[in-house]
Structures are given as C-alpha cells and as structure tokens.
Amino acid sequence: MQIQADTALRPAWQHLARQYWLLTKPRVTQLAIFCAVIGMFLSSRELPSPASVAVATIGIWLLAGAAFAVNSIIERQIDAKMARTRMRPVARGEITPLQAIVFSGLIGGAGMWVLYTQINALTMWLTFATFVGYAVIYTVLLKPNTPQNIVIGGISGAMPPVLGWAAMTGEAPAQAWLLALIIFVWTPPHFWSLALYRLDDYRKAGLPMLPVTHGEQFTRLHILLYTIVLVATTTLPYAIQMAGLPYLACALGLGAVFLAYAWRLYRCYSDRLARATFNYSIVYLAALFAALLVDHYIA
C-alpha cells in the first residue's frame, strides 16, 4: 500500500519541483553561468581549482535564480498576457507569489552565504548588486518606463564574466570589464530581434519596447548599428593583447555572420529572419567566449 501511495504522489512532487526549477529561468541562466565560468578560466594562465569553480558557480547560479524568481513575481500579470511567458509558473498560478518570494529568499540567501564564506566578499557584493540591478532597477523601474530598458538594464546582464573573474582572484580588473562590455553591446541586437517577432505580445502587455514606441524600421536600424559596434568591440581583447590571432579570426568570422543577419533584417524583414537572428545571437555569444577560452590556453 505504501509503495502504491508513493507512486501516486511522485508525479505531483516532480511537477512541483519542475515549476520551482522553471522559476529560475534555466535557459537564460545557462548562458549567464557559462560566461561566468569563462571569466573564471580567463582570470589566470593557470587552471583554476575545480572545487573553487564549482562552488563559485553554485553561488552565482543561486543568486541568479533568485533574481529571476523575483522578476517572475513582479511581472506575473504581464507574463500572463504574453504568449512567450504565459506558461511561467507564477503567471499560471502553479506557484503563488508568496511561495516564489520565500523560494527566492532561500536560494538567494544561500547563494550569498556560499559566495561570502567559500569564495570572497567582493564576489558576493558584485553578485548581489547584479541581483538588485536586474530584479529591482531593470524589472521595476526601467522595463515598464523606457524603450531604452534593455540598453540600461543590460549592465546587470553583462556582469557574469566579472563575477567569475572576481571569484577566482578577488579582483575585477579592466580585462574582466571588457568582457562585460562585449555582453553589454551584444544585448540590444539580441533582445530587439526577439522584440520584433514578439511585437504583438509587447503591445498587448503595454511594455514600451523599442519596436512598440519607435517602430520596426527604427529598431532594425539600431540592431544593425549595435551589431557593427559589437563586432568592433570584440576586437578589443586582441588590441590589448588579452587574446591572440586565433580569437581574432573567430571573432571576425562570427561577427561577419551576425552582421549578415542584421543587414538582411534591416533590408528585408520577416518574423522568421528575426527569430533566426535571435537564435544566432545566442550561438554567437557562446562561441565567442569559447573562442576566448581556447585562445587563452593555446596562444
């Protein structure tokens, strides 16, 4: 009888666990954590301790998940109106706002404890500042009030490599901030591509995204301009001798493809092309940082 009861309860337990997992926006978190880990490995010519990498990754992931949970609470009514987000746990009522805030507090507190006691205070405070920047400044102040929300708010999203670097060295030098600058410039063309093919969603939600407030043509032009700046920015690690020719070749090759997408998007728009541009932008950033890592150890 007990075995039958456990079998009956297991699916409900697994479903609830999955809802809490989804609350941390794992697909978004994966890319951020990947960039943080790259920052850890780039911080020194020597391979970092696997234990330190693992512990720092856990601490940063916990605080990132907590920030996304808070974001889901604040935006639950907006999320419910949008096709892309209406299946999120709080928007659907699978998890209540109270449950989500308790969960966020628990994993956020655990993340701060891990970083402060096992890594260093600088990493904890930088990660906490990133939490505040995303969960409060971006979500509450910027996103509903200005079409430049993703540009200004991109500062928080650009922080992972700085966090990773600080976790291994206790410092955040110019090289780490250069990595953050690359992500900062990458964010607008990445997110505005999404906003273009999700334009109706943003209109229904009443959010002042750039294509809503300034039109599709204006947004497409800015995607192209930001992509040009991005490609130029990605050459800076080579210019300051942080990376060598293998990285530069990869950066220019990846950038040429991104520019081709942006140019086509500007000249001949379609939702399908905007989606393809968005998807490529994710591959682009991951491949760019992977190229930095490989170059770091072979150059």
d(CA 108, CA 124): 11
| Distance from C-alpha of 43 to C-alpha of 86, rounded to nearest angstrom | 40
Burial 158-171 (b: 16+ CB within 10 A, else e): bbbbbbbbbbbbee
Q: From first to last of its 299 residues, what are the pLDDT tens digits of the chain?
A: 444 444 444 577 788 888 889 888 888 889 999 999 999 999 998 899 999 999 999 999 999 999 999 999 998 988 888 888 888 889 888 899 999 999 999 999 999 999 999 999 999 999 999 999 998 899 888 888 999 888 888 889 999 999 999 999 999 999 999 999 999 999 999 999 999 999 998 898 888 999 999 999 999 999 999 999 999 999 999 999 999 999 999 999 999 999 999 999 999 999 999 999 999 999 999 999 999 999 998 86
Nearest residue to 171 via CA among 112, 129, 126: 126
Domains and CATH numbers, the chain: 1-171 (1.10.357.140), 173-299 (1.20.120)
Query: What's residue 161's pLDDT?
Result: 97
Is this structure's pTM higher than 0.85? yes
Kindly report the backbone phi and psi dihedral angles of residue 146, in degrees, each rounded to the nearest multiple of 5, phi listed first.
-145, 140
d(CA 139, CA 77): 13
Please work out, in degrees rounded to the nearest 5, the angle formed at the alpha carbon of residue 130 by the alpha carbons of 146 and 78.
45
The residue whose two tokens read 């805030």 is: 101
**Which 8-state DSSP code applies to residue 207?**
-
State the virtual CA torsion across 69, 38, 27, 154 in degrees, nearest 10.
Answer: 60
DSSP letters spanning 60-96: HHHHHHHHHHHHHHHTHHHHHH-TTTTTSHHHHTSS-
**Identity of the residue numbered 126:** L
pLDDT confidence of residue 10:
55
pLDDT for 3 equals 41
Determine the pLDDT at residue 2.
45
The pLDDT, as a whole number, for residue 4 is: 45
What is the rounded distance in angstroms from the CA atom of residue 144 to the CA atom of residue 121? 33
Q: 156: helix, coil or strand?
A: helix
